[in-house]
Structure 1
Amino acid sequence: MNIPVTQRRRERIEQVLAKRQPDLTLVMDNIWDPHNVSAVLRSCDAFGVHEVQLYYTTSPWPDLGKRTSASAKKWVRRIRHNDGPGMIQSLRDRGYQILRTGFSETARPVMAFDYTIPTAIILSNEHDGTAPELAELVSDEVYIPMQGMVQSFNVSVAAAIILYQAFLQRNEAGMYDSPRFDDDEFRALCKDWYSR
């Protein structure tokens, strides 16, 4: 059964899609906790991330419920991968800089990177860190400076902070001012979203 789309809903969908960033993505590397995954997706939606990469090789894809934060999955495209090197090469072929979260001596603070260029950030399982097959291919590490005793944020909080830094830079550069999709793709996405 087709539910009619109100004019107000159409306008909202078009406004949101006009701000989507097709060249900013996160790679979720075996993040098993469904609450964390839902919260990351909610931050992606909030900051205009169009799609995320799902890399699950040691953890099953978490079952996302229909709670408020889980509803963000409806608005963020999810691409599944099981070939880490292939995923990294595909992103590089599309011109992405690829960063991973980490604390090595060469890691740089989140503010030190340019997020106005195509960017993918790998967020990993808090207990295991970045999957070795990804870590050996991605040397650039990003960390969030902290002033307390604890060493790291929860992965969903880290995602929000990193995406906010990207938002600040992209917003300053005017990258949210007009649609980033060509007209045909924008119309196709609108049509798809009207039916959700």
Structure 2
Amino acid sequence: MLGLRQPDLAVCLEKVHKPHNLAAMMRNCDATGVHHLHAIWATKHQIRRGTAVGSQNWLKLHSHKTSADAIGQFKAQGMQLLVTHLSDKAVDFRQVDYTRPTAILFGQERTGASEEAIAAADQEIIIPMLGMVQSLNVSVAGSLILYEAQRQRQQAGLFATPRLDEAECQRILFEGGYPKLAYLCRIKGLDYPHIDDEGQIQADADWWQIMQQDGRVALQEAPQILSGWQRKMLGN
């Protein structure tokens, strides 16, 4: 899965306020190989774990207080910015080249993308509608556009070679596979250990000894459940 991630294809949700839409978009990203999901919001929302189906454990979620912050980051990375917006300048989303470094911005459910985002867009895109309604639900629109991006990138061979750097792969493997141990590392200030090809932790005795110190008390505050062998290693 990590070998298929596309670090130069990002999704940005601009003030999307419905938690289930955020969770559904995370699921879309995970399914299509998108690694970075950006959210612009004044107040963070709780991720609906049932809708996300665990996708939040395998993505990199970036939070921004303003649209300018997110847009500035995309521009600094040399990414083309696509904004979903119904206008005379907009083109069919299938006419865009998604093999380029790309960030796709989806606006708020009711009002759409902000004027600031539209002004910064390299291209406005639309999903053609043949009925009376002018738009689809944001997560549905996201799935259509992301699967077109996936199709183009598959044809271009961009999934053939792993593109996510090893440090990020190791972070995901440890935090996703050992959430409580990752929690302890953070509160104890420990570096994450290496995860081998079998998914096992490679750490010396000193690392485990530090993890065992006051481990029981700290783990009572963590949300996930350790497996039996992990509890044994921590003396819990």
Structure 2 partner of 1:125: 108
For the pair 1:82 / 2:65, whether they are aligned, the reply is: yes
What is the TM-score of this pair, normalised by structure 2? 0.70
Q: Match for 2:93 among 110, 132, 152?
A: 110
**Aligned amino acid, residue 143 of structure 2:** A
Conservation of the 8 A alpha-carbon contact between 1:41 and 1:70: no
| CA–CA separation in structure 2 for the residues paired with 1:21 and 1:93 | 18
Greater relative contact order structure (CA < 8 Å, 6+ sep): 1
Aligned to 1:136, the other structure's residue is in SS state helix
| CA–CA separation in structure 1 for the residues paired with 2:58 and 2:168 | 16
Q: How does 1:43-82 map to 2 (within 5 A)?
A: 43-57=28-42, 60-82=43-65
| CA–CA separation in structure 1 for the residues paired with 2:39 and 2:155 | 29
Residues 1:136 and 1:53: Cα distance change in structure 2 (over 3 Å): same
Aligned to 1:79, the other structure's residue is in SS state strand
| CA–CA separation in structure 2 for the residues paired with 1:186 and 1:72 | 15
Give, in angstroms, the shift of residue 69 of structure 1. 2.5
Which runs of 4 or more aligned residues in structure 1 lie more than 6 Å from their structure 2 counterparts after TM superposition? none
Please list every run of 5 or more consecutive structure 2 residues that lacks an aligned counterpart in the other structure: 180-236
Residues 1:114 and 1:194: Cα distance change in structure 2 (over 3 Å): same
**Aligned amino acid, residue 195 of structure 1:** Y
Structure 2 partner of 1:146: 129
For the pair 1:38 / 2:23, whether they are aligned, the reply is: yes
Residues 1:31 and 1:68: Cα distance change in structure 2 (over 3 Å): closer
Give, in angstroms, the shift of residue 135 of structure 1. 2.3
For the pair 1:174 / 2:153, whether they are aligned, the reply is: no
What is the TM-score of this pair, normalised by structure 1? 0.84
**Aligned amino acid, residue 36 of structure 2:** E
Q: Give 1 or 2 for the bigger CA radius of gyration.
A: 2
Q: Deviations over 1:12-48 (max 9, x none)?
A: xxxx100011011111101111111111110001001
Choose 62-71 or 135-144, whichever is displaced more. 62-71
**Percent same amino acid at aligned positions?**
35
Aligned length in residues: 179
| CA–CA separation in structure 2 for the residues paired with 1:177 and 1:185 | 19
Q: Deviations over 1:44-72 (max 9, x none)?
A: 01001111111113xx3222233142521
